[in-house]
Every structure is written in C-alpha cells, then in structure tokens.
Amino acid sequence: MHGLMMDNPLLISSIVEHADINFQDREIVSVVGDGSLHRYTYGDCFKRVRKLANALAKLGLSEGDRVATMAWNDYRHLEAYYAIGGAGYVCHTINPRLFPEQIVFMINHAEDKWIMIDPLFIPLIEKIAPQISDVEGYIVMGDEDSIVNTNLDNVISYESLIKDESEQFEWPLLDERAAMGLCYTSGTTGDPKGVLYNHRATILHAYALIAPDAMNLSNRDCILPVVPLFHVNSWGSPYGAMIVGAKIVYPGPKMADGETLYNLMEEEKVSVSLGVPTVWLVLLQYAAENNKKLNSLQRTIIGGAAVPESMIRDFQDNHDVFVQHAWGMTEMSPLGTVMSLKHGMDQLSQDEMVNLQIKQGRGMFGVEMRIVDDNQKILPWDGEAFGALQVKGPWVCSDYFKLKGSAGAHTEDGWFDTGDVAKIDPQGYMQITDRTKDVIKSGGEWISSIEIENTAIGHPAIAEAAVIGVASEKWTERPLLIAVKSKDQEASKDEILSFFKGKIAKWWIPDDVVFIEEIPHTATGKIKKTALREQFSDYQSSE
C-alpha cells in the first residue's frame, strides 16, 4: 500500500521558485573579469535565469541536451546552472585547467550542443574549435563587446542573447531522475569519465549539506565558495546556499589571489568559505605577511585533498576560524563526510580537537560507508584497520556516462569503490590514508603516504611534501619524501628525518628526502604522484 502523500518531484527549479519568494533582496556579489565587483540580488538573478531559460529554448534544444559551461565563479555562471538544469537540459561544467586534448575529448564525448564561455577562455576554445565541430554555437558570458575580437563561428554574447527575453518562464515538470548536470573526472589514467547528476540526487545532497552537522548553512550566513563551479558543482553550494537564502560571494577569476580573498571576506562579512587546501595556503600566507586577521570568517570547509595539521592550527590560533574537514569525489556529488563535533566533544583539549579535525569527518545520512581488505572482507571501525573505502547512496553515481559498467568501479553487491584507502574510528570519523594506487607496501604492511606528508608539512622548512614508494629489494617498497623548501628556510636532510621521530611509526619514517623546485599538480589541485613516480623511477633506496 502506498502512503497518501503528494508526489512532487524534487527539481532544482523549485529552489528558484522558493528562493525568489522568500529571499528577493539577498545579495550575490561577484568579482568580474576587470577585477571590479558586480552586486545584485536573488530577485535580479532569477529574472535573468528565466530570461536565459527562454533564450535556450529558442536555440532549438531538446530535453537532455548538453550545454557546456567553461567559466569562473560568478553570477552569470550561477544563472547558467539554474537555467540549463531547470529547463530540462544538462549543464556540463568544464574545467579550463585540463589539457586541451582532454577538453576536446569531453566536449565530443558529451556531444555538447552549445558552449557558454567566459571571455577569458575564448583563445582556448578558438584553438580547439576545429576539433569540436559538432558544437552548434558559442555563448560568450559578457556583453556585446566581449565577442568583437573572436573568430569563432556562430557566436553570441550572453547579454544580447537574453536581452529581449521574457522574465517569466514556465519550468517544465520533469521526472526527478532526469539528468541535469555532467562533470568529468580528470582521469589521471585513461580518458576522463563523465558523472551524470540528476535532480533528485542534487536536491537530496543539498538537503544533507545544509544540515547543522554538515555545512550548517543558514539564511544568516554569507558564503564564499572558492571551490569552482566548473568542478563537481562547487560542492553543491549553489543549491545549498539558495535553499537557505545565504548571501553568496564569488571570487571570479581571482580565486587564487590571497589579497582578493581576504578583502572579500572582510568587506562582505563572509561567515563560511569552501575550498581546497592550496587556496587557503595562499590566503593564510597573505594574512601572515601583511599582519592581518580574518575577523568575520567563522568556519571554513576544506576538502579535495587532506588538510595539513599546520593549516588547522593557523586558522584556529591566528584567526579564530574553525576548520571543518570534508571528503568526497566527483562520483559522489561530491560530499561523503564532513567533520563536525559529537555531543560532549566541546570539552576536548586543543590537541585532541586537532587530531579529530585531521580526520575527514563522519558519514552523512544518505551515504553508507564500509572499508574492505584485498579479499573484500569487511573491516572493523576500530581506528586501526585500513582498507578500500566503498560507498553507497542516492547521490553516488551508479555508472559513468555512456560506459555501461565497463569502468568496473562498482562491486557485485552494488557499492561504489572510491579508490581511496581509509580507516574509521569507533565514533564513525573516517580518515583517508591513501589512494589505492598510491599506498606504499613495505614488508607486507601498508604505509600511509598522506600521514607522512601531513607530518612533513608541519616542519617550518617544508612548504609542500609528497611521499611515494620506491622499490626496495628487502622491503618491496620504502617511502621517499619529496619536498619543496619554504621561502628563506633551511634544514638538512637529517634534521627533517629526525623531525618524524615520535610522530609516526618508526618504520614509516622515509629513508631519504629529496628537494625539488615544484611538485606537479593535476588540474584539480592534487599532487600528481604518477609524474613523481616516473621522475624518481631510477631512484635507489639506501637499504
């Protein structure tokens, strides 16, 4: 017997309808191309969202057609999110930092009909245009002036496209399982794989992320998502923020600029920010060098890569900002875990608190987790055992776009294998110890490269650290520390190696340190260990 409740589908257009009535005058502030600030309200935004939805319909698109965006975090990109998805098309966000050949692959694989591009990316698209000839046209996200110098075919500016359109739009009553977003994983091995989001998953994920024990977003917040709209839906922030009606601040092309981020936080009274560790490194450096304190920021949610202990302490000790570590991936919309305190934890000492914050957080309702060993045996949540992390839930992908199960990422009993290795403590706090392919196998045991990296970063002379396994006759593999020195700091190899004593298991201490100028990163800011392994393939371990 079915219950007798209304069957309203969960659609992102319902966020527009709700927020438009309830939060008309809430502000959205964006840094734009010339560095100036654009400021308008939710009410203004939704008028333009409807105009864009009308304009897209006139381009002859059909339900499910892909419209790509390649743009920074700003108000036009936010409008595109809602207009494309809400009107029944699929918003394919493209990361401009990927290699051109990867971008070509993704556009062709997705069969994008139209591409919306930030004026700054015109040269990039012009270069690859001959290889993406099935694209019907380009919308440059600017005014009429933004297209005067391009030789792209069938190009129109965003402002002229929407100018004469109606501010009214009848949102289609879609199936809540209809696709509305598409994001490709960067594919460090093989071709990028497309994750196809639907309305239902996106709304459920948004409900989960605003909850008090997750991002704790409310109408009283002012949120600065530095995490890009061009990768994994900016962690669901466009949806979460607008469900509650938070003020939104976007850094535009200035997302890696410490001074801009600092000024935005202070002047717009930002209370919560989202981003990857590298971004916060830049902000904290700017604050330290200029003797400035973050006065309005209360908490920052950091994920995408492990947060070093020194960063947690810097935020807390110097700025009174609480770091909430989070973990997830493109395949998970992306959130899986967020660090938040359980009852009684307010009493923790500072060191105990930091030890908790270093972990990636606990599972949210909606994501089931388990860790398994090489034989798929389920491991206990004892904070000691570590194994492959598998997840399940309504916002976890069930397959990749057009791959029909061939990626082999799911287990026979329907769990998604994240490719991460983790341990989980009895309280449910999960800690990533490695990627499956980066784990170091030494003397039949696993060594966590992430834990060694985190410890290394705590040394003042080390700005960035990467640990890889190098072949060892006796132990199979031994950890090698590859480090970038901090500016104006010196330390000998021996000093650095003895710094590990008492901090990690003795047999985990690397046998050697090599200093390099720069550690290679992927387009999503992660350390590119494949490149390092190649670079150090001839390295001889001193047994």
Residues 168 and 153: their CA atoms lie apart, in Å, by 30
Site for ligand ADP contains 325 (CB under 6 A): yes
Site for ligand ADP in 66-125 (CB under 6 A): none
To ligand ADP, the closest distance from the beta carbon of 393 in angstroms equals: 15
CA neighbor of 490 nearest in space, from 462, 513, 512: 462
Binding of ligand ADP at residue 224 (CB under 6 A)? no
Q: Which helix (H) or strand (E) holds 335?
A: strand 335-338
Work out whether 431 is an interface residue with ligand ADP (CB under 6 A). no
Active-site residue flag, 415: no
Check if 331 is active-site.
yes
Residue 208 parent element (H or E): helix 199-210
Stretch that binds ligand ADP, among 27-35, 77-85, 300-308, 483-491 (CB under 6 A): 300-308
Report the amino acid identity of residue 530: T
Supply the minimum distance, in Å, between the C-beta of residue 130 and ligand ADP: 27
Cβ atoms of 216 and 239 within 8 Å: the answer is no
Phi–psi pair at 513, nearest 5 degrees: -125, 135
Residue 529 annotated among the catalytic residues of the structure: no
Question: What are the strands of the beta sheet with 90-93, ordered from one edge?
Answer: 155-157, 137-140, 114-117, 66-70, 90-93, 179-184, 194-198
Closer CB to ligand ADP, residue 442 or residue 524?
524
Strands (E), 340-408: 361-363, 368-372, 387-392
Q: Does 209 bind ligand ADP (CB under 6 A)?
A: no
Rounded Cα–Cα distance for residues 214 and 207 (Å): 10
Of 331, 451, 453, 464, which one is the catalytic site residue? 331
237 phi and psi angles, rounded to 5 deg: -65, -35
The window from 26-34, 61-69, 129-137, 413-421 that contacts ligand ADP (CB under 6 A) reads: 413-421
CB 431, min distance to ligand ADP, A: 9
Is 441 among the residues known to form the active site?
yes
The answer to whether the beta carbons of residues 527 and 520 sit under 8 Å apart is yes
Q: Which of 222, 229, 232, 248 is in the footprint of ligand ADP by CB under 6 A? A: 232
Q: Which of 41, 269, 446, 528 is catalytic?
A: 446
Nearest distance in Å: CB 52, ligand ADP: 27
| Binding string, residues 444-483; x marks residues near ligand ADP by CB under 6 A | ----------------------------------------
Q: Among the candidate windows 37-45, 203-211, 253-261, 329-337, which touches ligand ADP by CB under 6 A?
A: 329-337
One symbol per residue from 161 to 200: x for binding ligand ADP (CB under 6 A), - otherwise; what is it? ------------------------xx--------------
Nearer to ligand ADP among residue 83 and residue 91 (C-beta): 91
Closest Cα to residue 67, out of 180, 232, 188? 180
**Which residues touch 52 (CB under 8 Å, ≥6 apart)?**
79, 80, 83, 158, 161, 162, 165
In angstroms, rounded to a whole number, what is the distance separating the alpha carbons of residues 146 and 153?
14
Q: Which is nearer to ligand ADP, 146 or 524 (CB)?
A: 524
Q: What 3-state DSSP class applies to 300? A: strand
| Stretch in the footprint of ligand ADP (CB under 6 A) among 202-210, 244-252, 346-354, 521-529 | 521-529
Give yes or no for residue 324 binding ligand ADP (CB under 6 A).
Answer: no
Q: Interface mask (CB under 6 A) for ligand ADP, residues 349-368, using x and -?
A: -----------x--------
- The answer to whether residue 522 forms part of the interface with ligand ADP (CB under 6 A) is yes
Q: DSSP string covering 27-77, please?
A: EEEEE-TTS-EEEEEHHHHHHHHHHHHHHHHHTT--TT-EEEEE--BSHHH
Residue of 329, 356, 430, 465 interacting with ligand ADP (CB under 6 A): 329
The answer to whether 228 contacts ligand ADP (rule: CB under 6 A) is: no
In sequence order, what are the beta bridge partners of 213? none
Find the Cα–Cα–Cα–Cα dihedral 465, 469, 473, 475, rounded to 10°.
90
User: How many other β-carbons are positioned within 10 Å of the β-carbon of residue 148?
Assistant: 7
CB of 231 to ligand ADP, least distance (A): 7
Contact between 340 and ligand ADP by CB under 6 A: the answer reads no
Strand partners, 250: 30
Closest to ligand ADP by CB, 292 vs 392, is 392
**Closest separation in Å from C-beta 434 to ligand ADP:** 8
88, 142, 304, 366: residue in contact with ligand ADP (rule CB under 6 A): 304
Residue 490 burial (C-beta neighbours within 10 Å; 0-12, 13-18, 19+) = exposed
Structure-block tokens of residue 4: 């007798």
Number of residues that bind ligand ADP (CB under 6 A): 22
- Residue numbers at the binding site for ligand ADP (CB under 6 A): 185-186, 232, 303-306, 325-327, 329-330, 334, 360, 418-420, 432, 435, 522, 524, 526
Catalytic residue numbers, as ranges: 185, 331, 441, 446
